[in-house]
Amino acid sequence: MLRFIIRRLLITVPMILVVITLTWGLIRLAPGNFYSGEKNIPKEIEANIRAKYGLDKPWYVQYGRMLGHVVRLDFGISLKYEGQSVNKIIMSSLPVSASVGITAYLLALVLGIVIGSVAALRQNSIWDYASMALAMLGISIPNFVLGPMLVLLFSLSLYWLPPSRWQGFASRNIILPVLTLSAIYIAYIARLTRAGMLEVLRSDYIRTARAKGLRESQVVIRHALRGGIMPVVSFTGPALAFLLTGTVVVERIFALPGLGNYFIQAALNRDEPLIIGIVAFIAMTLLLMNLLVDITYGFLDPRIRY
């Protein structure tokens, strides 16, 4: 087990290297600079700026310096938010993204598994059709449509919930972003659970459980659920990583000072250290979550050993 974890962690190193190298290359290929967004500046001043930030050095020197930052996990100073270190920006915005994300994740997990199980247990009933139609809607409606629609309904028409802004985790402001964010995940998890449960419910060992005289609820909860949610597990790893690290659109719609919002700003500003920092951070989270999924598999399925 420990050897497996160490091996997996070692593999993540080259993967992150590839990701940041590609990102770095893309930033340099994109036209414009972090200082050129404002106005035409005199040649001399531009040269000064370039010298100050080391942009006059050969590309491999700049690449090496960037790599040095990543290796030390100290991503340097933001070019746009002057005086603020990238690490500090990530650390201050992460709690916002993570609290919305984890809430959405838990909601999606519980609702998705319940809805999917009900659909599987009542296959081809009105419950099944209704929940799967709803799931299809959840997958089809993009969150930049769903978010404003929820705002329109609950904030601007019913006046029940605030439309935007961040007031901390324990405030009503979190409800709409969480709903918007989790909708598609609820839908996916419900569909995966349904498919998984349908397969398990037809299996021989469920027949054995019924032949024992167990109640249907015991058959489902004790015997079927574990095998039925296996497909969900592999989906939840990347899902959790994305939810944790913020989603650009939802944070934009609800004006949340989260990681995703900074990410978009950084890209628009060509704020290289901030982009690299956030990309590296998201990549690491993603790889870590996938590792977590594999470890969870081992716990859920005794046949899997590392």
List interacting residues with other proteins (CB under 8 A). Answer: 124, 202-205, 207-215, 222-223, 226-227, 300-303
Cβ 221 to other proteins shortest distance, Å: 12
Q: How far is the CB of 212 from other proteins (least distance, A)?
A: 4
Residue that is written with structure tokens 């690491």 in the block: 284
Q: 138 or 227: whose CB is closer to other proteins? A: 227
Cβ of residue 131: shortest distance to other proteins, in angstroms? 19
Residue from 216, 214, 247, 208 nearest 98 by CA: 247
Q: Where are the alpha helices (DSSP H) in 202-247?
A: 204-211, 216-218, 225-228, 230-244
Closer CB to other proteins, 159 or 299, in the complex: 299
Closer to other proteins by Cβ: residue 218 or 265? 218
Q: Rounded to whole angstroms, how far apart are CA atoms 126 and 133? A: 10
Q: What angle do CA 155, 160, 165 make, to 5 degrees?
A: 55
59, 76, 286 from 54: Cα distances, Å: 10, 13, 31
Cα Rg for the chain, rounded, in angstroms? 24
- In the complex, what is the shortest distance from the CB of residue 236 to other proteins, in angstroms, rounded to a whole number? 18
CB of residue 120 to other proteins, shortest distance in Å: 13
Closest to other proteins by CB, 231 or 258: 231
| Reduced 3-state DSSP string for 179-213 | HHHHHHHHHHHHHHHHHHHHHHHCCHHHHHHHHCC
CB 164 within 8 A of CB 252: no
Cα–Cα distance between 306 and 304 in angstroms, integer? 7
CB of 132 to other proteins, least distance (A): 18
Q: Which is nearer to other proteins, 100 or 209 (CB)?
A: 209
Longest dimension (CA), the chain: 86
What are 85's strand-pairing partners? 77
The amino acid occupying position 117 is S
